[in-house]
Structure formats: C-alpha cells, structure tokens
Amino acid sequence: MPSADAGRHSAQLTTGGGAAGYLDRNGRVAAGVQGLTPGYFALVMGSGIISLGLDLGGFRAVSAVLFVAGVVSYVVLVVLNAWRLVAFHHDMRSDFTDPKRAFGFFTFVAGTNVLGVRAGEQGWHAATGVLLVVAGLCWFVLGYVVPWSAVLGHSERPVLASANGTWFIWVVASQSVAIAASSLEVVVTNGRIGLAIIAVFSWSVGVFLYAAVGVFVSLRLMLYRLEPVQLDPPYWVAMGAVAITVLAGARIVEMQTAPMVDATRALIAGMSVVFWCFATWLIPVLVAAGLWRHVFKRVPLSYSPALWSIVFPLGMYAVASTYLGRADHLPILEAIGAGWIWVALTAWVIVFVAMMRDIARQLRGGAVDV
C-alpha cells in the first residue's frame, strides 16, 4: 500500500503542484515544441486577414484586437520555432522530408506578408517593407527546398499518395508576396517598377502552381482511397488559395502605371473574376465534405492546429470579394465580402477559444495535440 507521502507526491504530479509539477509542465511544453506543426502560422494568417477585412468595413476596434492577436501569435511562434530548430533540429529536418507536413512551412511566408499588409493599413509602411523582404527571401528559398526535400528527393514512392490540402499553401505564399508588393508600390517613389515586377511575377507563379497542385491532389483523390479522417481541414486551403489569387489580382489591377502591370492588367482583371467564381463554387463542396466526415462518418470534431486552415480561407474569401468588388466596380461582390467577414470572425472566435482550452488542458497534463 502506498504511503501518505507517496500519495501526496502523486497528487502533486497530477495537479501540477510543487517543484515536481513545475518540471512536469516544462516537460509537456518541451514535448509540444518538439512536435510543433510547421503550419501553425495559419493562426497568424487567419488573425491578420480577418483584421484586414474588419478594417475595410470600418470596424477598427475589433480589427485592432485581431491585429494584436496576430502580432503576439507571430512573435510566440517565431520563438517556439527557433527553440525547436535549436533543441529539436532532427524533428524539424524530418518535417522537411515529410510530404504531408513540409508545405506547412509556407505558412510562415504567408503569415509574415499578411501582417505586413495589415501594418501598411496603419501607415507602417517600413514594417511592410521589412516583412516583405523576409517573406520574399523565405518564399524563394522554400520554393526550391521544400518540393525537392519532400517530393522529388523523397525515398518512398509513390509520393502522390501523400498529396493533400497543405500543398496549396505554396500557392498562398506566392500570392501573399504579390499582395505585399502591390500594397507597398502605391506608397513608394523609388523602386515602383521593381515592386510591380515582383507582384506580377509572384502572381503568375502562383497561378501555375495552383494548376499543378490541383492536378496532384486530384490524382491522389482519384487513385487512392480517401479515408474520412484524411479529409482534414487543410483541404479548405484549396479555396483559400483561389481567394488570395483573386485578392492579389485585384491589388495588381489597382496599381499605378508600370510596364509589367500595363501589359497584364486586363488579363489579370478578367481572370480574377473567373477565380472568384471558382472559389465560390468550392465552398459548398468543402462544407459537404465536412458534413460527410463528421456527421455521416462520425469522425470526432476536436481542436487541432489544422482548424486554422479553415479560418484563413473564410477570411480571405471575404477580403477578396470586397477588394474585387471595388477594383472591378461589382457592388454585389463587395456586399458579399461585407457579410462574409462575420462568418470568418465567428469561426476565428470558435477556434481561438478551442485552442486556448486545448493549451490549458495540455499544461494541466492532458495529451499533447500538435
């Protein structure tokens, strides 16, 4: 029979009391950092884009709250990823070779640019420029490293069986560079032509990447059996990638005269409307897939970082609709964007509350969910 002291010690470990509980919590935090998903910057993406949408609608107080949440999340995630790189570099290197997780690293690029664009709305254009340089360099490097390490250099075949919704984040990252460059172009005097080239170049690359990734993911769905648990939230990025392509196109259409912009303005304006229609068509498909997964196949609905992959596309669709409506003088699109931003905000609140509860549960000693 255990002694009374042993019982008290066990209670301390269970409840987190005393020095042993403190060390136990530290161990759980370290375990969480070790398994941190590369795609967690989707939290920053979702917070930043909904903040931008609310700011466009004139709801500046609520917008400021989400902007602060995005900035805090960004700083925390940068610190945690730096910790992971130093202390658990083998795990991070393993993520670069995993086709199911590697493309999540592009969320850093997109999250950085989303915050930069939102900062520009506050008039902090220097911050936008700095963040664009950081994100642009990472996009360029990761654009070659990730496909090679996770796909072309992967030892197991067929890699196509691992294609999933996270691959579309590559597209999102490309278009985020275009948005940041186009938003900065209107406020600078020197380097405007260079920013115009970057915007059109990254937008064009993003369009071709969407076509390629769409083919890969479609082939995976047709050639391999898809279990309900595999139809996870990142498939919503397929819609988000189209929506951000619309937003990037609308921003380019609004840019001032420059050779690269003038040569493509009409093409990009027309294609942006087509892409918006496709993004709208995808929403019922994705909702139906979610109902099939959770209602008919009874896959439990619980918090995971992947849920932020739903929040960002919802917010991006709202902002893209608003911008495209203004750029192409389509009031109905602007009205859709104004209403849809509240759908996105509702989703953000639900997922954020679930995330905080999950973090609290982990610190109390529950299973680590990364």
pLDDT of residue 110: 97
Neighbouring C-beta atoms of residue 159, cutoff 10 Å? 16
Neighbours of 152 (CB within 10 A): 8
Contact assessment for residue 85 and residue 37, using Cβ atoms and an 8 Å cutoff: no
Alpha-carbon distance 68 to 50, whole Å? 12
Q: What is the pLDDT of residue 215?
A: 96
DSSP state of 369: -
What is the pTM (predicted TM-score) of this model? 0.90
- Note whether 311 and 348 are within 8 A (CB): yes
Tell me the per-residue pLDDT of 240-256, one tens digit each, with 9 for 90 and over: 999 999 999 999 998 98
> CB-based burial of residue 369 (10 Å sphere; 0-12 exposed, 13-18 middle, 19+ buried)?
middle
Give me the pLDDT at residue 25, please: 65
In whole angstroms, give the CA distance from residue 312 to residue 166: 13
Rg (the chain; Cα; Å): 22
pLDDT of residue 4: 42
Q: 251 and 225 in contact (C-beta within 8 Å)?
A: no
b/e string for 25-39 if b means 16 or more Cβ within 10 A? Answer: eeebbeebbbebbbb
Q: Can you tell me whether residue 366 is helix, strand or coil?
A: coil
pLDDT at residue 340 in the model: 97
**Could you tell me if 170 and 108 are in contact, meaning their C-beta atoms sit under 8 angstroms apart?**
no
The neighbour count for residue 249, using CB atoms within 10 Å, is 36
What are the boundaries of each domain within the chain? 21-364
How much is the pLDDT for 187? 85
Number of Cβ within 10 Å of residue 156's Cβ equals 9
State the pLDDT at residue 6.
Answer: 43
- In angstroms, what CA-CA distances link 43 with 59, 103, 252, 347, 353? 21, 15, 26, 12, 12
Q: Fill in the DSSP letter of residue 124.
A: -
Look at the block and give the residue holding tokens 């030892």: 155
The pLDDT score that the predictor gives to residue 21 is 55
**The residue to which tokens 């640019």 are assigned:** 113
CB 151 within 8 Å of CB 159? yes
**Rounded to whole angstroms, what are the CA distances from 352 to 135, 166, 235?**
25, 20, 20
One CATH from 3.40.50.460, 2.120.10.30, 1.50.10.150, 3.30.1640.10 for 21-364: 1.50.10.150
From first to last of its 370 residues, what are the pLDDT tens digits of the chain? Answer: 444 444 434 444 444 455 555 546 677 788 888 989 999 999 999 999 999 999 999 999 999 999 999 999 999 999 999 999 999 999 999 999 999 999 999 999 999 999 999 999 999 999 999 999 999 999 999 999 999 999 987 767 788 889 999 999 999 999 999 999 999 988 887 888 999 999 999 999 999 999 999 999 999 999 998 888 888 999 999 999 999 999 999 999 989 888 999 999 999 999 999 999 999 999 999 999 999 999 999 999 899 999 999 999 999 999 999 999 988 888 999 999 999 999 999 999 999 999 999 988 887 765 544 5
d(CA 265, CA 242): 18
Q: So what's the pLDDT on residue 11?
A: 41
Burial letters for 223-233: b for 16+ Cβ neighbours within 10 Å, e otherwise? eeeeeeebbbb
Q: What is the pLDDT of residue 3?
A: 44
18: alpha, beta or left? (left if phi > 0; alpha if psi -120 to 50): left
